[in-house]
Structure 1
Amino acid sequence: MSTTTTTQVVHDTHAVEMTTSRSGTPASTLKSDHASIYNGDDEPQKPTAAPAPETRWTKVKKTSWALFVKYWFLIGLGFVIGLAFAIPWVGKSYGSIQAQYTVKWGAVIVIFLLSGLGLDVKVMFRTILRWRLHLYVQVVSFLVLPFLGWGVVRFFIAVGANIDEMVYQGWIIALSTSTTVSSNSVMTRNANGNDSAAVFNAALGNVLGIFISPALMTVFGDDRILFPPGSARGTPDYTKILFQLGLSVLVPLVVGQLIRFLFPVQIKKLSEKLRFPIINSIALLVMVWSVFCDGVASDAFHKLSGADIVAIIGVDIFMYLFGCALCLFICRLPWWGLPRLGWEEPAWLDRFRMSRKDAAAVMYCGATKTVSMGIPLISVLYADTSFGVKWIQNGEERDQLRASIQQQKADSPDTESLPSFSTRRRTAGERTSSD
């Protein structure tokens, strides 16, 4: 561009500014507009493009991802259950991956080791003095809910409900376990509750569960109505139970606490980097997958009737809601409507009330039950009647029966003229009664 042309552009621009200023439009606006077109050089500056509006597909992807991040554990539960029905031989005990060792031991050790690493030692010592809070949680978890569940089971038996006895026994085992490891602390934190108390009670409950859960099963096992003679229940060896649960639960938890105490900064950074809670939840999903693989492989779910499924869902919901309501009641101790009757609230009542944050921790810890403690407890109690043992025994019986039939066919050439019949191997009890 020549000098004459540049001078003319400047002169014309100045003229436009003077004209628009007289008409009421600020000159600074025009200068700004002019600057956005020319940046001092001869070439014009490209205007900035406005961001493109989000498409419907983009919104769907964002919403789907947000829902997945929020509910990924529930989605994972559905996935592992479906996977168990698809390939049960992989995750069952004595299957492709030898789950009785890799999962029943490995996943449990991972869960409690990460729990020990994630629990701040200082927080544990500060919260250990909150004895009343811990007492509420453990009493509801280990006394109220198990014996209430036992009463519910005895009620169903008394009225002659058409429910399989294995469902009754499953309820008792589940209610005899300790509180959950990770979900209660996560829910307490999301509710803005006392998450340190939730974490401590999760650790405390699972340590106590090593001793209390087998003891409860010993007490309930003496009920011959709930566990009749000949039912699929092994005789619990108390020393063996404590030994196995101690190695898989207590030792990893203590080791995790020692490592956390010696290297607190490094472990905290590693926990944030590797997402310990996510690994903990994945290990729990693996355990659930293996349990369902055992159930599918042994045809346990085909034995459940519609009444069994409805009863399981209904009783589980009732027990959880009752536990939540009871925890909130004892923590907050309401004085509903009594001042209208002239009954003033006593001073001691308020002293026994806990804060709302503490009440949330008690509610989530007291009403929940852990799968990670229940699975090894079932594995130990039912070691003599596990799927692996039944699979081998049933296979041997079928092989013997098949060999016997083939031998009969070989001895008798005219097999079609023989009457068909079926044989069944008598149990030890039947042989004894017939003799």
Structure 2
Amino acid sequence: MSTTTETVEKTSLDESILSSKINFPNSEPDANNQQQGQQQDQTYRFQKFRKIARTMLSRYWFLLGLGVVIGLAWAFPQVGKAHGDIEAQYTVKWGAVIVIFLLSGLGLEVSVMLKTILRWRLHLIVQVINFVLLPFLMYGIVRFFITVHADLDMTVYKGWMIALSTSTTVSSNAIMTRNANGNDGAALFNAALGNVLGIFISPALMTAFQNDSIVFEPGTDRGNPDYVSVLRTLGSTVLAPLVVGQVIRYFFPVRVKYLAAKCRFSIVNSLALLCLVWSVFCDGVASDAFNKMSGVDLVAIIFVDIFMYLFGCAACLFVARLPWPTKFLNEPKWVTRWRFSRKDSVAIMYCGATKTVSMGIPLINVLYSESSYGVVGVLSLPLLMYHICQLFIGNFQVQALKKWVENDPVIEDGNLNNDTEVLPRTSSESMQLSTMRRRTN
């Protein structure tokens, strides 16, 4: 009996000792749990940071690349300048442009182009805004600055006129239109059409603007209006690769699609564009041309470029959607028929407001071939800054435009305009749209 009592007392004593160890705040098991919790928390934070960094890098890698190539140009200008270590006037300024437009031709769906080619009203709006409204508005702004005696270099004025006289870009506007659920077929066609027309229209605009002796003062660098040279150079670097790419795409569509997915044509296209930007900055740095520009010039270039891009976006959306005060007046039928769908409006906005570096820089090189490459570098700066601004702002516009397109009541109700073309959706897009419809119902 006593033995049993001692056993019970010993067992209770052991349990009390064990419980005291467990409840002790500085005990070893609790410290290990706390340390493991901290490690898990740190691992979670690191994984979250890595995910965010990877997302930002995949979305804005081109902008990061712009910073890298500009830094390399400042550090090693002798490598990428004209007549430099790699003879960039041929290897980059010809090779990169040919690659860009060859890949653009390979990436354009021939059947989509044939369906989209009859959308003449959409194409007319894009090209008129791009080749008429924006260049002549820029001309008016330049004349205003000259009239008020703004403290800006005359080369900046010429650079602005050249920048706004170029055609729409090929790759970035099509990619942003696609990401915003816009009509990417219309964007691709107008990109190709604009660059083909730009071979003829852009030099003609520059020739017309150069007749103004106030902007292009006598005795200063003027573009050479040799149309034979311009058409030969731009035709061989822009038009011919684009046509060759379309022909290859037509005869070998399956293989081209496989290579496009395998080799990431869009990434190669962007890398070629970065090489072109790098070479131009090398020219400017090697000739000490950028140091000749004041801080006022650089600030003016950035703000005017941002204003012109935003104005172009607003003008495109205004014309495409054509607002009407329905609270006070009944909307006429011609307004309803004129108004484009939201998908088309996104394509019109991106194509009408953007300007291309891949054609603009070759145009500057051809027009100012007799000038020093330093002058070419300074003249290219407004166009380069415009391109950077449109990439920054355009990428931020994508999410807002995507929500705007998804909330389009015309698409949800199925009442499409006769002039509206809806391209085939991917399975994921169809599932998203059907889910949205079920929620609405």
- Shorter-chain TM-score category? 0.7 to 0.9
Query: Aligned pair 1:289/2:273, yes or no?
Result: no
Q: 1:299 Cα shift?
A: 1.0
Q: Which amino acid is 2:273 matched to? A: L
Alpha-carbon separation, structure 2, partners of 1:329 and 1:298? 43
Q: Give the corresponding residue for 1:414.
A: none
- In 2, Cα distance between equivalents of 1:63 and 1:309: 32
Q: Which amino acid in the other structure matches residue 325 of structure 1?
A: A
1:231 aligns with 2:231: no
- Give how far 1:326 is off: 0.4
**Deviation at 1:150?**
0.6
Question: Out of 342, 349, 353, which is 2:339 matched to?
Answer: 353
Deviation for aligned residue 1:232? 1.8
> In structure 2, what is the equivalent of residue 261 of structure 1?
250
Give the equivalent residue in structure 2 for 1:242. 231
| Aligned residue number for residue 79 of structure 1 | 68
The structural deviation recorded for 1:62 is 2.2
Q: Deviations over 1:69-119 (max 9, x none)?
A: 110000000111111000000000000010000011000000000000000
Letter of the 2:213 counterpart = R
Give 3-state SS (helix, strand or coil) of 1:294's partner: helix
Name stretches of at least 5 consecutive residues in structure 1 with no aligned partner. Answer: 1-50, 391-435
Q: Which amino acid aligns with 1:93?
A: A
User: In the alignment, residue 109 of structure 1 is paired with which amino acid?
Assistant: I
Structure-2 residue corresponding to 1:60: 49
Separation (CA, whole Å) in 2 of partners of 1:349 and 1:61: 50
Hey, what's the Cα distance between the residues in 2 that align with 1:244 and 1:131?
A: 29
The residue correspondences of 1:312-327 to structure 2 (distance < 5 A) are 312-327=301-316
Please say if residues 94 and 388 of structure 1, whose CA atoms lie closer than 8 Å, have aligned partners that are also in contact: no
Match for residue 330 of structure 1?
319
The answer for the alignment partner of 1:400 in structure 2 is none
Does residue 198 (structure 1) correspond to residue 187 (structure 2)? The answer is yes
Work out the CA distance in 2 between the residues paired with 1:317 and 1:62. Answer: 31
Partner SS, residue 284 of structure 2? helix
**Equivalences for residues 97-108 of structure 1 within 5 A:** 97-108=86-97
Deviates more, 1:275-284 or 1:55-64: 55-64
65 and 286 in structure 1: CA distance in 2 versus 1, 3 angstrom threshold: same
State the match for 1:40 in structure 2: none
Q: Aligned with 1:334: secondary structure?
A: coil
Question: How far is the alpha carbon of 1:56 from its aligned partner?
Answer: 2.4
Q: Judging changes above 3 Å, is the alpha-carbon distance between structure 1 residues 357 and 389 closer, same or farther for their aligned structure 2 residues? A: closer
Q: Which of the numbers 154, 164, 184 marks the counterpart of 2:173? A: 184
- The answer to whether the Cα contact below 8 Å between 1:146 and 1:172 also exists between their aligned partners in 2 is yes
What residue is the counterpart of 1:379 in the other structure? 365
Aligned partners of 2:316 and 2:345 also within 8 Å: yes
Deviations 1:346-401, CA, capped at 9 Å, x for gaps: 111100000000000000000000000100000001100032899xxxxxxxxxxx
- Sort the Cα spacing of 1:144 and 1:234 in 2 relative to 1 into closer, same or farther, 3 A: closer
Change (3 A) 1:197 1:146: same
| Helix, strand or coil at the partner of 1:227 | coil
**Structure 1 runs (4+) greater than 4 angstroms displaced:** none
CA-CA distance at 1:304 after TM superposition: 1.1
Alpha carbons of 1:235 and 1:275: their partners in 2 closer, same or farther (altered >3 Å)? same
Question: What corresponds to 2:198 in structure 1?
Answer: 209
Partner of 1:222: 211
* Alignment partners' CA distance in 1, 2:155 and 2:206: 14
Q: Which amino acid aligns with 1:181?
A: V
Q: 1:340 & 1:141 partners in 2: Cα distance?
A: 33
| CA contact 2:96–2:275 (8 Å) conserved in 1 | yes
Contact 1:379–1:386 (CA under 8 A) maintained in structure 2:
no
Q: Contact (CA 8 Å) 1:92, 1:297: kept in 2 or not?
A: yes
Q: Give distance in 2, aligned partners of 1:57 and 1:349.
A: 54
Change (3 A) 1:184 1:272: same
Equivalent AA in structure 2 for residue 348 of structure 1: W
Residue matched to 2:152? 163
Contact 2:152–2:297 (8 Å) recurs in 1:
yes
Q: 1:95 is matched with which residue?
A: 84
- Partner of 1:116 in structure 2? 105
Distance 1:196 1:389 in 2: 38
Asked whether the equivalents of residues 93 and 388 of structure 1 are also in contact (C-alpha less than 8 Å), the reply is no
What SS class does the counterpart of residue 384 from structure 1 fall into? coil
Q: Any stretches of 5+ residues in structure 2 without a counterpart?
A: 1-38, 377-441
Q: Secondary structure at the match of 2:215?
A: coil
Task: Give the TM-score taking structure 1 as reference length.
Answer: 0.76
Which residue identity lines up with residue 357 of structure 1 in the other structure? K
Which letter maps to 1:374? G
**Whose radius of gyration is greater, 1 or 2?**
1
Aligned residue type for 1:316: D
| Per-residue deviation, 1:61 | 2.0
Identity %: 68
What is the distance in 1 between the residues matched to 2:373 and 2:297? 21
TM-score (norm 2): 0.75
* Alignment-mate amino acid for residue 211 of structure 1: F
Within 5 Å, which residues of 2 pair with 1:274-313? 274-313=263-302
Match of 2:120 in 1: 131
